Structure 1
């Protein structure tokens, strides 16, 4: 009996180690790609005056922050390493802010495509560099509201002594009452409902323009349509992530191993996957950005071999 139990424990630890290693490999790959695209953005000055590329760079940085912070939380959770609650609060505030910043930025980028295709004469005015900076401030302000509301409730209900205690850092730690979970879910789903309406509206308007366009304009409009469709898919993955706590809670009541498997699957598919779609949508599909990226990579290789 003891031999069977030791074999089972060893197999479980081996499985956990493999999953942790796979997560680290994926995170490192996505971070390297994001950093390469961010450096390409800063190297090319023409990108600094375009709203679509500015918002793209903002989303890349948001995704990178989420990848780093969520990976730290995953490692702490797997290693069962506890930290003080006040430190966990700081990490959670930043994580929740940038988790929400990605879909909000996606919505802003979809609106920029709508203006470029449906209102081309006003695009230079509405999507200027100055307005893009204001848009970034609005994105972060809107993205901070859900986390501020949820954490304000936690600050109001938690005792002062709780902040000095040590615990496993998790977003679920800030839910002290069952109604707080429903409140958090309601706010998040309200956000995504509004964002879905905006994206559907933009897509319908772009389709109308595509039917009336011809030649090069038609090709440009169709590319815009495909971009909006990819944004919708990416937003859908982010939306499903909000439902993950409910499926994980139901699985935990059935079996612990089922809970761990579903949680691992949710993290890979609904947390990591949306962050790898950003480089695909704008970094590789966009001809201008892809050309700048290729030139930068070739320049780095040539410089390395000539030194």
Structure 2
């Protein structure tokens, strides 16, 4: 059965962090609060259990619980994309099947990391994952973490199957968007996975971004995207400049910086799991200053407001 292309896969999609309590357990109530806030802001989809969600420290049972919670909160109002990647193909298949059983609408599957497979191995990995599920698969290329990039030719070959719905491109290579746009079938979605270059990616014709930043300022990100789509690039760029300091802070220590920012907004505690630790005091102060640049009533509300 052919999987339809994902027209909904567009705009700024938040990569949600996983909130923990002081005992190190997943804070399901805070997961629900995050999901509801993003849905109210009009998020086209939510990503859970991915890199911002510290997926590598979550057990399969915790991942399933988080996915089910997001699905239950969404109630069909938005799509739920579950991270289901691994450097072991068998584990990626297991996580994908668990995500499907938990009700996810799509999975985000990263290039196998650490073991540095050849491109043929990467293709075989993703095809094996695809054969294990009926869900759409979004490829995730983040060479800074995986060491082996997802080659353009590999993306084009995988996209011949309609089950591969799009690419989260964390390479930061804007020229790649131009190269791929002409080579991919209609309906395949190209999304930035790199907040510092996401604006340029969208302004150059990308379909959107899977973003840390949209966790903090979803309304502003949505406005930037719609303004770009209207061709008002100067206005969109003006709004984007207000996010530069915050982007810089978030990109240096992820997801600890994101969690601390959300704690300042009263949305979660800043707890992380080892080997990630909380920000030091100078980094906290810098991040708090960056938040003040966009903390007005039309963009975000701080916990003290």
Q: Which has the higher strand share?
A: 2
- In which range does the TM-score fall when normalised by the shorter chain? under 0.3
Q: TM-score, normalised by structure 2?
A: 0.28
Between structure 1 and structure 2, the one with the greater Rg is: 1
Answer 1 or 2: higher relative contact order, Cα 8 Å, separation at least 6.
1
